[in-house]
Structure 1
Amino acid sequence: MKNNSPHNRKGTGRNEKKTFNKESFNKKNSIKSGDKKDNYTKKTFKSSPTFRKKSIQKKEEKEGTRLNKYIANSGVCSRREADLFIQNGVVKVNGNIITEFGYQVMPGDEVFFDGRYIRPEKNVYVLLNKPKGYISTTKDEKARKTVLDLVTNASPYRLYPVGRLDRQTTGVLLLTNDGNITKKLTHPSHEVKKIYHVTLDKKVSLTDFEKLIEGLHFEEGLAKVDKISYIEGCPKNEVGVEIHIGWNRIIRRMFSKLGYEVEKLDRVMFAGLTKKNLKRGYWRILTELEINNLKML
């Protein structure tokens, strides 16, 4: 007697399909044990765990950071320089000297550079309009005020001034924890442009303009300005000076050698950065565009 219940119809359908695949189809195509079908099945089974293993390895690699990048992100030096330090055995991870370039630093690892504990920091770039009376160093033996006293709330990381402005010089000063940018902007080969507003005790003659452009001799070598001119709307004792050398107090020394005394010295531009809309003693974080421009210099 034919059973028309839905349950039995489903069961019969499955059984018939199973019988067809195993017996009719395999018999017709002469598939034997151990031939291509069995091999394909085995390969599929074996490849699955391997795939998962690779996925796990890739995930673990992503969690780590290459040692040279870790050092560079700590503000110590560039990646290329870090490779040299690693090669020379300067770097330790968890107490062990590491000389392998591709070594991965994992979360929780302790990294020491030349005996000093380091950790990656987010790069911060702060522009300060420096007032008089502040030293452009991280600390002063005489307990005088430093520019860091003005930017204490700018970053949770330790900042360093890029170059120096003497105590009485005002104007644009960049502070950052980016070692690469600091080295780039202070190295003479990059010839980073700086513009100063100089106020002197007397009118500057055109003859002295020429002497400053031709250059004056000092212990460090020949010092010369790139451009010099009177400032429109100001007395003739005020001049604008463009220069790229960064020797200590060089502008004051150059004018002093010609018989002038610098009464005021204000840096109005450094590496394309200006103090526009920034009051004296105030600071601001650089924009992404400004940061990119610095990296392209």
Structure 2
Amino acid sequence: QPRQQGGYQGNRQGGYQPRQQGGYQNNRQGGYQNKGPRQNQYGMPQGGRSFTPRPKRIEYETPLPDPNEQVRLNKYMANAGLCSRREADEFILQGLIKVNGEVVTELGTKISHSDVVEYDEKVVTLEKKCYILLNKPKDCVTTSDDPNGRLTVMDLVKGACDERIYPVGRLDRNTTGVLLLTNDGDLASKLTHPKFIKKKIYHVWTDHDISEDDMQRIADGIELEDGPIHADAISYATETDRNQAGIEIHSGRNRIVRRIFESLGYHVTKLDRVYFAGLTKKNLPRGRWRYLTQEEVNYLKMGSFE
């Protein structure tokens, strides 16, 4: 039975607990507990369009820089939120960057934190870090801007901070769930680099029941056009609906969950990421966002999660 083979034990970190926490009621209508208007403790109806106050900005602790530490100029500029490292290299080659009043044009130049960097006659200072967790809705693209004018995740977190944040990794337009946005380039690369690839858990809905043989195949490993892949754990999401599965995977390959099921003849009708590197969407309604807590940021930086 797939359940006994290390399926979802619903651990305290907010693993896969479809039934108890009122998250998934998995009825065929797919609604969230569609039982008519609920009432709060005062007898007022709930479930209409509620007003949610804007999350309060969190000031994260910033470690004091080591005065002797040498850092590449392009990395310093990227950490300052000015541009990407590649763009910084362009600016350096064009002679637009000064260090201590002198124009620097050599790529790979290293500076210390006591050096003064200028771009466009303005001193470049390290910006505050911002970490945002979004429960991404459907029909929304994971890009900073979209030439086709579609809704982007950046539209949803507009005004969350003045700094230039960007999504960590991608979710398809029709995939929902946990997405992290930040201006912390070092953390972003740690979470997405193939060497450090982090655990993700998805709730998958398919167009017909998934056979136990196919569940076993996915657990054992299947061959896709870009190489073999296996789930770290897989189980049925509910006792009754065999067309829903929970799958845990570490791969960062593009559209990997959809491709796994499609290769076995299933069409994925709905896909929701419920866990990413220790972050879950607990208490975060679809389409809403919040700032990470200092504790969550510390955990991510320490690499405490698989």
Amino acid at match of 1:206: E
**Is the contact between residue 67 and residue 105 of structure 1 (CA under 8 Å) also seen in structure 2?**
no
Secondary structure of 2:186's counterpart equals helix
1:111 deviation in Å?
A: 3.6
Distance in 2 separating the partners of 1:285 and 1:243? 25
**Is the contact between residue 67 and residue 101 of structure 1 (CA under 8 Å) also seen in structure 2?**
yes
Which entry has the higher C-alpha Rg, 1 or 2? 1
How far does the alpha carbon of each residue in 1:225-278 deviate from its partner, in whole angstroms, 9 at most, with x for none?
111001235511111000011211111111011000111100000000000000
Name which of 99, 103, 123 aligns with 1:96.
103
Name which of 95, 115, 118 aligns with 1:105.
115
Which structure has the highest helix share of the two? 1
Secondary structure of 1:213's counterpart equals helix
Distance in 1 separating the partners of 2:102 and 2:188? 30
Distance in 1 separating the partners of 2:292 and 2:222? 36
1:120 deviation in Å?
A: 2.4
Structure 1 vs Structure 2: percent identity of aligned residues?
Answer: 48
CA shift in 2, pair 1:98/1:262, >3 Å: same
Secondary structure of 1:105's counterpart equals coil
Asked if 1:238 is matched to 2:250, the reply is no
Asked if 1:216 is matched to 2:226, the reply is no
1:160 deviation in Å?
A: 0.6
CA shift in 2, pair 1:90/1:293, >3 Å: farther
CA shift in 2, pair 1:253/1:89, >3 Å: same
**Is the contact between residue 231 and residue 238 of structure 1 (CA under 8 Å) also seen in structure 2?**
yes
Secondary structure of 2:148's counterpart equals coil
**Structure 2 counterpart of 1:144:** 150
Distance in 2 separating the partners of 1:149 and 1:122? 21
Name which of 267, 272, 278 aligns with 2:273.
267
Amino acid at match of 1:110: E
CA shift in 2, pair 1:122/1:203, >3 Å: same
1:110 deviation in Å?
A: 1.3
Shifted more, 118-127 versus 198-207: the winner is 118-127
Distance in 2 separating the partners of 1:66 and 1:213? 43
The gaps in structure 1 that reach 5 residues or longer are 1-61
Task: Tell me the TM-score normalized by structure 1.
Answer: 0.67
Matches within 5 A, 1:74-85: 74-75=80-81
**Structure 2 counterpart of 1:206:** 212
Matches within 5 A, 1:1-297: 70-71=76-77, 73-75=79-81, 92-93=97-98, 94=101, 96-97=103-104, 101-103=110-112, 104-106=114-116, 109-111=117-119, 119-297=125-303
Q: How many residues align?
A: 222
Amino acid at match of 1:215: G
Amino acid at match of 1:277: N
**Structure 2 counterpart of 1:9:** none
**Structure 1 counterpart of 2:52:** none
Distance in 2 separating the partners of 1:269 and 1:282? 16
Distance in 1 separating the partners of 2:80 and 2:240? 46
Distance in 1 separating the partners of 2:204 and 2:162? 35
